[in-house]
Each structure stands twice: as structure tokens, then as C-alpha cells.
Structure 1
Amino acid sequence: MFLSDPHFEQRVPPALLPPGGRSWRVVELSLSVPWFIVTLRERADECLRKLMVAYEADLLELIGREKQQILAIHRVSPPRRPHTDWAIEPLQEIWMATSSATRWWQFIDSSGTETCWPKSTPKQHAAVSRQLIMSLPIH
């Protein structure tokens, strides 16, 4: 999803990077699909970090590990029509929905637009129950 070339590696003193970390001046977006920007507060030194997250499964794993440190999550969506711009929308809620047959996650942005992962909708399932995973303040 995010690619880079060794030519674009940014030399940063090792003390400023996490163990094994590397830094890049340029990354390429290889697919035109939605992705996420997660803002979290680092516990150790109270600085803010912004992570670019390619896939919903990775976002959910990050929420599971760092939920208390997450300040905001934005969904970055590709243009819906030719000659339009990418859109960045803050997420307001993340829900886990279950039915007797399956489980999926619902992402609701500040305008009320809902997307699901995997690509399911509650209309396809009877007897849906929902559990709020995360509610985020809108900045």
C-alpha cells in the first residue's frame, strides 16, 4: 500500500527513532483505496504521533493495543468521480456488529456516512447486535 525507494530514506539519529525504525521523505500510495490517519499521544514523552494505516484490520489491531492513547482517526478516501479530490473525514464512532452468521465493523464519520469492513451491511443480516468499540471527539 505505501511504498518507498531507498533513495528517499531520511537519515535520522537512532536515538530519535523507535528500535529498528527507519524514516522516509517520500512514500508512494500504490492503491486508490481508503486508508486512515491515526493520531495518538505517546505515553513516554507525551508527544503526538500520526500513523498512516492502510487496512481496516490493522486499524482494529491498533485500537486494541492503543485505544487509550488514540486522539483521532481520519479516513482518507479516493476521489469518487474523475477530476475530484481525495477526501479526509474524521471518524466519530467504530462499532462491532454481529449476527448469528457473521461479524463486521462499522465506521461512522462526522457526516454520518457509514462504511463497513468486511464489505457487509446490516441490511444483509437479520437480528444484528452492535457494540460500540470507540467513540471519538470531532476536532
Structure 2
Amino acid sequence: MMVLQMENWKDLFRPHILERGLNYYEIGAVENVQQTEKGFRATVVGSENYEVEIEIKDGRVYDMWCSCPYAEDGNYCKHMAAALYESEETVREIKTGDKTWQEKFLESKQELAEVISKIPEDELRSILIQLAQENESIRTRIMTKYS
């Protein structure tokens, strides 16, 4: 697995793939960018919606995954490039204050868990149904795991 500094991530992509990724980024096709414990994930909207996950270690792109057929064959795809363009500034500023973004993410995750633990179960189900109806990524995740 190749590890590149953030400013060199473009070297992973073939020029035409990088250009297509830039086009997706420029038209605003990258949605739902969320930090994860290992990096970030996003949805890239095109002919279909594709989920992208980027793993960051020590401020560098460490690993990438996309749900599109091109990436399933082991290639770096335009969806990954688009997500990286969208998140480039965030990843460059991987440290915020005295805490890393991973520490801040874990703290916010714990705070969220505390708030959620106080919500009655029937209300949680109602919220989850509403979120799944509004967000294709959440709906797909629920249907894939629990149907």
C-alpha cells in the first residue's frame, strides 16, 4: 500500500481520472463529507451515488475505497479524486489546536452517544426512519445490513 503526503495524492491517479474527479468536485457532486476515526467518507453523485472512504495516517493519504465498479477492480477512481479535492483543505489541517482531529472526532462521538442514550427508543426509531428516507447512504446501509 502506497503512502503519499497530502500534496502528492494526485500522483496516485491517471491524468484523465484526475481530470474527471476535478470535474465532479467543481460541479458539487461530492456530498455528505464526514470525518471518521481513520479519515473521512463522502458520497459522490454521478450516474449513481458512490460511497468513498479515505484513510489518513500521519497527515498522509494511506488507503482509499470506493463502491464503484472501476475501484472494485483495484483502481483509483474519479470518485476518490473528487472526494480528495473536496477534503483537501481539511486533510491539510489535520491538527486543530492541541488535539488531533481524531481526538476531536472521538470526543464528539462520545458526546453524541451520551445525548442519544437519553432519547426514548420509539423516538430513536422515528428519527432513524426519517433520516433513512432523506439520505440514500443511510438507507442503503440499513437495508444492506438488516434486511
Tell whether the structures are fold-level matches, with TM greater than 0.5.
no
TM score, norm. by length of structure 2: 0.25
Higher relative contact order (CA 8 A, sep 6+): 2
TM score, norm. by length of structure 1: 0.26
Higher helix share: 2
